[in-house]
Amino acid sequence: MTIPTITLNDQHTIPQFGLGVFLMPPPETRQLVRTALELGYRHIDTAAIYGNEEGVGRAITESGIPREELFVTTKLWNNRQTDAPAALHESLDKLGLDHVDLYLIHWPTPRYDTYVGAWQSLEQLQAEGLTRSIGVSNFHQEHLARVIAEGSVVPAVNQIEVHPTLPQFELVRFSNDLGIAVEAWSPLGRSADLDAAEVVQIATALARTPAQVILRWHIQRGLIVFPKASSRERLAENIDIFDFELDDAAMLALNGMASGRRVGPDPERFNRH
């Protein structure tokens, strides 16, 4: 199986599909990540706040896969935006790595107005080789505009909530027009989109599962996607999306599910430290 890659604006490449470990219990993370790596996954997305970086690191070490074949992302939590160098070193220690492939500011937390300074710190961490690429997560247009105007590096990635009921067409287009790749978190809408009539109808016609249909929709939109899974069977199901395509009618039907429903916080109001 060949997972497509996307070339970022810094010329590094990222696998378009991977595994997310949000809400994955730390005791289970090691085994699930190991299983994913056995099945061909090479892209793992974690974060300091998830509390499972050590499990990810152990799985990577035990897999025996050469480091250069893996793409590892972690994120700077909100209360560390003024302390990014120490925060990244802590994450690297837990992961057992000397660098990550992508380091993201997790949320803009606009009330505290520290994300621009955090971005400037990430630029320095990239220059020091502690992360190959740098980016942001949950940034809206005004947040992106500020870091670009006040920093010296355009984010390589903007990781945002995207699923059929929140397709984020405008923000995806805005990001892409700036050369920023978009990653989709909660790509299945916390599973709420799986039972939608449009999804079930397409899945039945293609003899695929609803999850495979939605993940394929993301891939064909050019998004980077990394669904969470809690079993070997689901891990195998999720990655098995590269031998079929959705036609124009199916893409339009899924695009038409947009309702503005969020499953996570609104970045304009989320200021948790």
pLDDT band at 19, cuts 50/70/90?
very high
Burial environment of residue 147 by CB neighbours within 10 A (0 to 12, 13 to 18, 19 or more)? buried
pLDDT score at 29:
97
Confidence of residue 28 (pLDDT cuts 50, 70, 90): very high
Rounded distance between C-alpha atoms, residue 153 and residue 120, angstroms: 9
- Per-residue pLDDT at 191: 83
Instruction: Convert 99-128 into a string of H (helix), E (strand) and C (coil).
Output: CEEEEEECCCCCCCCCHHHHHHHHHHHHHC
| Rg of the chain taking only CA atoms, in angstroms | 18
When pLDDT is averaged across residues 227-243 and rounded to a whole number, the result is 97
pLDDT value of position 61: 97
**pLDDT at site 190:** 87
- Kindly indicate the confidence band of residue 192, based on its pLDDT and cuts at 50, 70 and 90: confident
Q: Round to whole Å and give the CA distance between 205 and 203.
A: 5
Identity of the amino acid at 44: I
For residue 46, the SS3 value is coil
5-189+223-230: which CATH architecture?
A: Alpha-Beta Barrel (3.20)
pTM value? 0.97
Which residues have a catalytic role annotated? 50
Is the per-residue pLDDT at 1 higher than 90?
no
Digit-coded pLDDT (tens) for 107-149: 999 999 999 999 999 999 999 999 999 999 999 999 999 999 9
